[in-house]
């Protein structure tokens, strides 16, 4: 089995200190809201992954190629232009939920939201939960 290190790893840095340093103030306030939402939906304590991603839960994957590793189960990063919200294993299975979310853009396994008032937080909660359930059906999700 090939086990290669992911570029993004848990750091042990303080989530609270990271959130306190987010700028501008509106982005910091919204990041606090997201942190509370992710904690409530997942039941997991947050962990910093790399310098700017807050992750909730983790999973160990092993691909058919033999590559394996560990990664965050779900999380977010309050980026300068938009909040990046990570739902593993991606958004392909959630075409029934996404239209109800509100204003957003999609990447491969990343959803971009400019500001929280643009989306329905109840629908985001549903999306986080659905993503964790889907991920857990592929690779067991563990608490962080």
pLDDT tens-place string over residues 90-106: 887 899 999 999 999 99
Does the pLDDT of residue 111 top 60, yes or no? yes
Confidence of residue 23 (pLDDT cuts 50, 70, 90): very high
What whole-number distance in Å separates Cα of residue 43 and Cα of residue 22?
Answer: 23
Find the farthest-apart pair of alpha carbons in the chain and give their distance in angstroms, rounded: 46
Token digits for 56? 């909730």
Domains in the chain, CATH or no CATH each: 25-139 (3.90.1150)
Q: What is the pLDDT of residue 5?
A: 65
Nearest to 3 by CA among 66, 73, 59, 58: 66
What whole-number distance in Å separates Cα of residue 67 and Cα of residue 61?
Answer: 8
| Mean residue pLDDT across the chain | 92
Confidence of residue 35 (pLDDT cuts 50, 70, 90): very high
Nearest to 104 by CA among 119, 120, 90: 119
Dump the DSSP string for 15-33: HHHHHHH-SSHHHHHHHHH
Better-predicted residue by pLDDT, 7 or 73: 73
Q: Give this prediction's pTM.
A: 0.92
Side-chain-side CA neighbours of 109 within 13 Å: the count stands at 14
């Amino acid at each position: 089995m090939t086990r290669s290190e992911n570029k993004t790893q848990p750091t042990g840095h303080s989530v609270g200190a990271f959130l306190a340093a987010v700028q501008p103030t509106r982005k910091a306030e919204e990041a606090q809201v997201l942190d509370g939402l992710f904690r409530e939906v997942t039941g997991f304590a947050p962990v910093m992954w790399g310098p700017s991603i807050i992750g909730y839960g983790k999973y160990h994957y092993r691909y058919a190629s033999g590559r394996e590793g560990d990664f965050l189960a779900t999380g977010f990063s309050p980026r300068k232009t938009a909040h990046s919200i990570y739902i593993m294993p991606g958004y392909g299975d959630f075409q029934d939920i996404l239209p109800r979310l509100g204003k957003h853009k999609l990447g491969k396994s990343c959803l971009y939201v400019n500001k929280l008032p643009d989306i329905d937080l109840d629908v985001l909660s549903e999306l986080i939960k659905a993503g964790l359930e889907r991920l857990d059906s592929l690779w067991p999700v563990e608490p962080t």
